[in-house]
Amino acid sequence: MESKAISNLATLITDDFADAVKLIYNSKGRVIITGIGKSAIIANKIVATLNSTGTPAIFMHAADAIHGDLGLILKDDVVICISKSGNTPEIKVLVPLIKSAKNKMIAITGNTDSFLGQQADFVLNAYVEQEACPNNLAPTTSTTAQLVMGDALAVCLLELRGFSSNDFAKYHPGGALGKKLYLRVHDISSVNQKPQVHLNTGIKEVIIEISEKMLGVAAVVENEKIIGIITDGDLRRMLTKVDDFSTLTAKDIMSANPKHINVDAMAVDALEVMETNGISQLLVEDNGNYAGVVHLHDLIKEGII
């Protein structure tokens, strides 16, 4: 039932939606979003979404507004009022006060003929035929429709502002989401050890280097340039092929032209390279020189995966 109601919202979009988006986009103030009951909870979510996508917004509870919180609304602010019926007592008291202050008002309502629908400057029709509640009482379908309408507003504004993933990272520095947007390869590889051997390094020294640096890999480096790579797997394959490896050197078992990534690349890009090539370690370069290793376990630890 809720799914059908959301699908139907697309048919209810009018010029008021586009005008409401333009109003908010061109406004020098903030967006004040208000509601009562379950609509107030939806208002809080829309506020959070707008704030995180470049449109400053504040929640104002409709009941508290008429007991002092009207002071939140400044001269250039745009007010969005959310109400399924558009006729609740608090809304009927609040709306005239907003209009008397000459702030532009956008309604998100399921009843365009309501008091709110008639008084608002722009009306976003969030009509639903029936609540998913079997008694058609508890706000379910209606609040879902309000939520979707709020998301639609936020996405349109995001696109108008040219809000990029870099902008998004500024507002989401914490958690796994933030790390995907700002964590770079250097941030991880710089704290790892830097296993490396030369072309003529003996196999025993190669094994010691890989074991001591605990990354399961060693870069084969000459004049600071990456020539090849030796992994734990290369050592195991070597043992199945030869009985005496005392005369072997790194160049005899290394893999040439290994996959690598620049220190300034995003950590999430390193993950993509690893997944694409079925590897768990990736060598790191800085201006063409060997700079370290990033391991799949590092990405797991940072929450990138």
CA-closest candidate to residue 262, choices 194, 184, 210, 159: 184
Cβ-Cβ contacts under 8 Å for 71 (sequence gap 6 or more):
none
CA-closest candidate to residue 298, choices 206, 240, 214, 204: 214
CA-to-CA separations, 267 to 181, 219, 297, 300, in angstroms, rounded: 9, 20, 12, 11
Dihedral sign (CA 182, 185, 190, 193): positive
Say how many C-beta atoms besides its own lie within 10 A of residue 194's C-beta. Answer: 16
- CA dihedral of 93, 94, 99, 102, whole degrees rounded to 10: 140
Cβ-Cβ contacts under 8 Å for 302 (sequence gap 6 or more):
176, 179, 183, 188, 267
Helix (H, G, I), strand (E, B) or coil at 79: strand
Do the Cβ atoms of 112 and 123 come closer than 8 Å? yes
> Phi then psi for 240, rounded to 5 degrees?
-80, -15
**Helix axes 38-52 and 141-161, enclosed angle (nearest 10):** 20
**Six-digit token pair at 48?**
């959070």
61 is in an annotated binding site: yes
> Phi then psi for 206, rounded to 5 degrees?
-60, -45
* Rounded Cα–Cα distance for residues 91 and 250 (Å): 77
Binding-site annotation: residue ranges: 61
Binding-site annotation: residue ranges for Zn(2+): 61
